[in-house]
Amino acid sequence: MRDRLRHEMEEIFRNVFGDQQLVLRDDMTANDVEGWDSLAHINLMIAVEKRFGVRFATAEISRLKGDGQTVGRLLDLVEQKKRA
């Protein structure tokens, strides 16, 4: 389940950041992904919402790019929202 989610998320990241070699790990932060600026972050949020049919709250959108946030946390949140 988690692996499949990560795989789908990887597809999204590759599209949004235009890097077909990108490999996603749970401990990655925004600093580890080239081009993950505030503009790309919005594009990422839009793509994730659309792909998984979830909706982030305003605060979540800001928090997901904050210090100490990881790809793992993003996956958790999506998982949790998909279950709800």
Which residue, 9 or 16, has its beta carbon nearer to other proteins?
Answer: 16
| Binding status of residue 21 toward other proteins by CB under 8 A | no
Q: Report whether 64 contacts 74 (CB < 8 A).
A: yes
Measured between alpha carbons, how far is residue 32 from residues 26, 54, 60, 69, 84 in Å?
11, 25, 20, 11, 30
Instruction: Rule CB under 8 A: choose which of 57, 67, 68, 84 binds other proteins.
Output: 57
Which residue, 16 or 30, has its beta carbon nearer to other proteins?
Answer: 16
| Binding status of residue 15 toward other proteins by CB under 8 A | yes
